[in-house]
Structure 1
Amino acid sequence: MKKLIDTWEAGFVSMIFLLSLFFLSVLSLGAAIYISSTITIEGREKTNTSIRVEMDTFLEDIMETLLSDPSPGVNSFDDPVWAWNGKNIRGYTVSLAPISDRINPNLVRKNIFDKTRLSLLFRPEKNADELQQFREDFGLFLGYETFQDFFEESLFKKYFSPYGWANINLTDEFAARQLGTSLTNDPIKGEALREKIRILLMDQRLMDRENLSAFLGVSLRELYPFINAEPLMNINFVEPLILEELLAYPDYHIRHPEQIAGDIVYLRQTEGLSAENMCSILGIDKSNPLFYYFGSITWFWEIAIATNTGDQKSHSLNAVVCRLPPGAYPVDSKPEYKIIERRFK
C-alpha cells in the first residue's frame, strides 16, 4: 500500500476536491484564505523537517488502524483506533475526535431549532431564521469565526461542526442550492437540486441509498458523494442534548424521548450500537427522518499530533480525515478514507 502521506503530497486529494468538499469554491474569500493555511509550509529547518516526518509516520499508522477496524459498519469507543487517543509516544501526544457527529450550521434546517430546545444554543439575539438568511446572503463557511455572532464559542465547538456530508433528506433546500451550484459550477443545476428537495418536502417523501442514483439523475456524478442519503451522525458519539432534542421533535413521534435518549447513552458506554440496534430501540425504519439523522458511522475525524518535550517551540500536526460513503457497496465493506486537511505548525 502506498504511503498515505506520499499520496497527499502527490495531490491524490486535489485542491478541487477540498474546495468542493467544504462547500467553499467561489462562495467566500475568507474560505480561500482558510484553505491556503492548510498548504504545507516548505523550507523549514532540518529539525522541523525531522519532526514533521515523524508526525507523518504516526498519522499513517493511525490511518492504518482506522482501515483495520474489524467492525467497519459500527464506529464506537471500543474501536482499535481509540487506543491512540491520549497516547504519549517518543515525545509526542496524540488525540483524535469525531467531528461530524454534530449539527452542521451550513446545512441544518431551521425547523429543528424552531420545534426543539436546540434553539437555546443561539445567542439571545439570534435565531434560526437569521442563520438561514445569513447563509443565503453570504454562503457556506468552514470556521467558527463566521458563526460567532450566532453561537458562543464553547457551545459551537461542542454541538456544531461544518464537517460533514449533506443528506438529501435533511439539508436545507436553499443551502443545497448553494452547495449544488458550487459543486457543478452551474446555478441552473443548483436550482434543480433545490427543487428536488422541495418536492420531497411537499410530498413528505424520504430518499434512501438504493434510489438516490435515479433521483439525482444526470447530476449524480457531480453531486455524489457530497450529497448522499447516509445518516449524518453516529449514535455512539452524538452529544446527549442533540440526541434527546431530535428524538423529541414532535413530527418524529417518539414516545418518552428523554428516557430513550438516556437508555441509548447508557447502552453505548458498554457496547457499540449499530444502526439496526438504533432502529430497534426507537421502533423506526427508513420511513422516519431519524433513520437519516442517526447511524453508526463517523464520517469525519480530526487527528492531532503534538510535541510534548517541553521545548520552547512546540510543533503540531492537525489532520482531518473523511470516510467516503459506500455508494453501491455494503456499508460494512472495507472503508475508504482520505486526508482532506493537513496543517503543520
Structure 2
Amino acid sequence: MNNLVLLTIAILSLSSPFIQGFSSFQLPIRLPWDAPATSFLTPKSPIRPNDKVVIFGATGGVGQLVTKKLLLKGYKVCVVARDEDKARGLLLDEGDGDDIKSCLEVAQLNLVGDGKASDEELQEIMKDANAIVISVGTTAFPTTRWSNGNTPQAIDCDAVSRIANLATSISNDVSKSSLRRIVLLTSVGVTRTNEMPFKILNLFGVLDAKRSGEDAVKAACGKANVSYSIIRPGRLVGGPYTNLDLAKLFQIEGGAENGVTLQYGDALLGDCKRDACAEGVVQALENESCVDVEFSVISNEEKALSTGEWGEAFEGMRR
C-alpha cells in the first residue's frame, strides 16, 4: 500500500470535531466523471419540447404554421380561438396521430368585443405557460373584420397589452412562475409611419397600434425578467391565406425557399413568406441567443438559415 493511500485512510479515520463536522456537511459537488446534472432554467432560458406554449392568433396564416411546427416538435400547445371546432379543423390534419392530437388544447374565448374574456379567464389559460406567442391582427383598413370591436386599436394595442401584463403578473410570483418567453408579431414600418408606403398603410392607425403593443410587451417583460422577441415581417405572402388582399388574389408566394433577410430594428421593406415568418417564431422560442431582440424579416431566394445561423443573427441583434 503506497503512502498516499495510507495518508488518505489516516485522514478519514480522524474523529476530531472539525473532521466530523466537515464530513457531515454535504455540498452539491459534481466530479468531472459524474453524469451531467439536470440543467437549471433561468427566467430567460429558451423553451424545449414538452414545454407549454400558449398561442393567440393561431387560426391566422402564420399562427397555423407556428402551431403545427410546435406540435410536430413535441410541444404542448394551447391555442386561444373564438371557435373551437374551426380551430381544430384548421390546425389538425387527418393523418395526425393521437400523440399530436393530445398535445393540442383549444381555449374558446374572445379577446375583443361582446363577451370578451375576463382577466381571470386569460390568467387561467396562461398560468402554466412556458412561452406565449401573440400573432393577432386585423385589416389595416375598415372591413367587415372590424365588426364587434375587432379594430387595430382594440386588438393590436389593447388586447396585446392586456395579454402581456396579465401573463407577466403571474410570473412576478416566483412560486407560480413558469413563463420564460413572449414572442410578438407586428409589422415592418411601425417606426416609419412618416415614410411611404407606411404612411398610407397607417391611415387608420394600424401601425401606431402595433407599436403601442410592442412597447407594452417590452415594458411588461422588463418588469418580470421574461425575455421577449419582437418580429416585424414584411408583407405576408404564401399560404395559408386568411385575408382578402393582393397577395391572396394573385397567389404571391414570395421566396422560392425559406431564405430570409434579418435586420435589427425596423429597417427592411419587402415580402415575407408566411412559412419563413413562422420558422422565425419557432427559432425565437428555442434559440438561446434570442433574448430581448426586435428585428424585421423579409424573404429572399437564398438557402434557408440553419439553426446556428439563426442564433448568430440573433446574437448580432442584441443590444
Q: Hey, which of these two has a bigger chunk of helix by percent?
A: 1
Bigger-Rg structure (1/2)? 2
> Which structure exhibits the higher relative contact order, with contacts defined as CA atoms closer than 8 Å and separated by 6 or more residues?
1
- Asked if these proteins are the same fold (TM beyond 0.5), I'd say no
TM-score of the aligned structures, taking structure 2 as reference length? 0.33
